[in-house]
């Protein structure tokens, strides 16, 4: 890779160990994937924040970076943690809470924004055609596909390194030639809700692997529905972006492959993801990816004036930012006995430690991961059905 004079000095350790280590990570990554140089980024988003997924070993590395004056050069946001202080932090073991707080402290020392969300684009939407270094897979797909920003699916370490250097290697989706769809997808019957969009994403991710699809038949989809589609695509495949059928990209040619998705295939995918015959969940969970302001309003309207069933937990996950601007909706949800948890995601938390054996969710991504990461059975259903199940009359 070509390095500027300043980049060479950083690589040689003239600016300290933290920057040298981060530059080494980026150079090796660029060489591995054929990057020719580093390019400036507008922002970074770092995963590997939850203690459940991070574990003990990387904590010392984060401490070393912070102690060696590792500082974010660009606006850098963080993925969700494993608990919140107001609710889950009081239910989980003390050592888990302490380890999670230790991780957050190191990121704070390095100047990373304590956003703790998988939807950083709600905090500040990146401008079109800006380069990013984002690690959360659902946010990557949304940024590339809906917002027209440019980011590879970074790993936690590479996004961390990019944040401290302020640059990332110019390979993959950062190059226009790699943003062209190669598969045309015809969706015969448009999905009707966010759960069907998620199931479509799960199905296409399994088929496409890392191919970029151009999807016809989803015109008019809401941003929340596209969010679920992208999150699911990234769960079962390595798809970093999709294109919609009514849009044409610069340099786009005729797709070399074509597939058709029928309504029955989406229905079968939902059925397959609902890995239980139990109709009554212990936990109803909405907010993967984190809820938008519109979703918070919808949940509040559906739940208002009712009560959560005595033997059911109801969690709504969102960012601290959305919680603040949706505080009236939050109040209405919590008045029912539900819990609005900010900064945390159930997938990277510990519901299994709290006795949860069955989760009902509207998120195909959660339905895909929960049986493995949470050791729970899953019921996949649309948001309205989830709220009706959690809330009594």
Structure letter (DSSP) for residue 113: B
- Determine the Cα–Cα distance for residues 136 and 62; give it in Å rounded to an integer: 19
Question: Is the domain of 223 the same as that of 118?
Answer: no
Q: What would the DSSP string read from start to end of 224-266?
A: HHHHHHHHHHHHHS-----EETT---TT----SEEEEE-HHHH
Beta strands 38-40 and 43-46, pairing class: unpaired
Question: Is the domain of 386 the same as that of 335?
Answer: yes
What tens digit of pLDDT does each residue of 240-270 get?
A: 999 998 555 455 555 679 999 999 999 999 9
Radius of gyration of the CA atoms of the chain, in A: 21
Per-residue confidence at 193, pLDDT binned at 50, 70, 90?
very high
Percent of the chain with pLDDT over 70: 97
CA distance between the termini of the chain: 64
Looking at 176, 208, 240, the residue that finishes a domain is: 176
CA distances for 338 relative to 27, 62, 119, 327, 348, angstroms: 47, 35, 22, 14, 20
Question: Is the domain of 191 the same as that of 159?
Answer: no
- Determine the Cα–Cα distance for residues 207 and 278; give it in Å rounded to an integer: 29
Looking at 141, 159, 176, the residue that finishes a domain is: 176
Do 360 and 281 touch, CB atoms closer than 8 A? yes
Question: Is the domain of 144 the same as that of 216?
Answer: no
Per-residue confidence at 175, pLDDT binned at 50, 70, 90?
very high
What tens digit of pLDDT does each residue of 212-243 get?
A: 999 999 999 999 999 999 999 999 999 999 99
Do 167 and 30 touch, CB atoms closer than 8 A? no
Question: Is the domain of 128 the same as that of 166?
Answer: yes
Q: What's the longest Cα–Cα distance across the chain?
A: 68
For residue 342, the domain's CATH number is 3.30.499.10
Neighbours of 261 (CB within 10 A): 21
Question: Is the domain of 222 the same as that of 310?
Answer: no
Question: Is the domain of 150 the same as that of 31?
Answer: yes
Do 110 and 19 touch, CB atoms closer than 8 A? no
For residue 184, the domain's CATH number is 3.40.1060.10
Question: Is the domain of 159 the same as that of 66?
Answer: yes
Taken in order 316, 361, 243, 187, the sign of the CA dihedral is negative
Question: Is the domain of 32 the same as that of 170?
Answer: yes
Count of domains forming the chain: 3
Residue 203 confidence (pLDDT): 98
Q: What are phi and psi of 143, to 5 degrees?
A: -60, -45
Per-residue confidence at 279, pLDDT binned at 50, 70, 90?
confident
Identify the domain containing residue 86 by its residue range.
5-176
Tracing tokens 């191919």 back to the chain, one arrives at 211
Question: Is the domain of 237 the same as that of 310?
Answer: no
Looking at 122, 148, 176, the residue that finishes a domain is: 176
Question: Is the domain of 351 the same as that of 262?
Answer: no
Tokens of 136: 């959360």
Residue 283 pairs in a beta bridge with 313, 359
- Determine the Cα–Cα distance for residues 242 and 228; give it in Å rounded to an integer: 13
- Determine the Cα–Cα distance for residues 174 and 194; give it in Å rounded to an integer: 29
Residue 95 pairs in a beta bridge with none
pTM: 0.96
Per-residue pLDDT averaged across 365-376, rounded? 97
Question: Is the domain of 330 the same as that of 184?
Answer: no
């Amino acid at each position: 890779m070509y390095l500027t004079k300043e980049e060479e000095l950083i690589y040689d350790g003239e600016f300290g160990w933290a920057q040298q280590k981060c530059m080494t990570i980026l150079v090796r990554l660029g060489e591995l994937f054929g990057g020719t140089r580093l390019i400036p980024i507008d922002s970074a988003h770092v995963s590997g924040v939850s203690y459940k997924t991070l574990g003990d070993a990387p904590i010392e590395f984060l401490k070393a970076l912070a102690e060696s004056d590792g500082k974010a050069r660009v606006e850098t946001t963080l993925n969700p943690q494993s608990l919140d202080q107001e609710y889950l932090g009081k239910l989980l073991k003390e050592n888990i809470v302490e380890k999670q707080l230790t991780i957050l402290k190191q990121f704070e020392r390095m100047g990373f924004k304590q956003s703790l969300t998988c939807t950083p684009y709600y905090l500040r939407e990146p401008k079109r055609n800006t380069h990013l270094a984002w690690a959360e897979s659902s946010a990557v797909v949304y940024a590339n596909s809906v917002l027209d920003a440019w980011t590879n699916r970074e790993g936690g370490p590479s996004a961390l390194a990019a944040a401290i250097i302020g640059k990332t290697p110019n390979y993959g989706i950062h190059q226009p030639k790699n943003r062209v769809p190669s598969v045309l997808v015809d969706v015969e019957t448009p999905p009707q809700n966010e759960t069907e969009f998620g199931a479509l994403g799960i199905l296409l991710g399994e088929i496409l692997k890392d191919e970029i699809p151009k999807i016809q038949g989803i015109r008019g989809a809401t941003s929340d529905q596209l969010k679920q589609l992208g999150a699911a695509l990234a769960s079962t495949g390595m798809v970093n972006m999709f294109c919609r059928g009514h849009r044409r990209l610069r340099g786009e040619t005729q797709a070399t492959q074509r597939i058709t998705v029928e309504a029955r295939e989406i229905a079968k995918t939902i059925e397959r993801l609902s890995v239980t015959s139990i109709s009554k969940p212990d936990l109803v969970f909405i907010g993967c990816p984190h809820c938008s302001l519109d979703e918070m309003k919808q949940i509040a309207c559906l739940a208002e004036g009712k009560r959560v069933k005595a033997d059911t937990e109801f969690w709504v996950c969102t960012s601290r930012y959305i919680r603040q601007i949706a505080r009236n909706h939050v109040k209405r949800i919590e008045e029912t006995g539900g819990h609005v948890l900010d900064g945390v995601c159930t997938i990277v938390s510990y519901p299994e430690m709290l006795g949860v054996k069955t989760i009902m969710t509207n998120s195909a991504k959660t339905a895909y991961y929960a049986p493995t990461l949470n050791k729970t059975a899953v019921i996949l259903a649309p948001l309205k059905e989830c709220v009706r199940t959690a809330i009594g009359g």
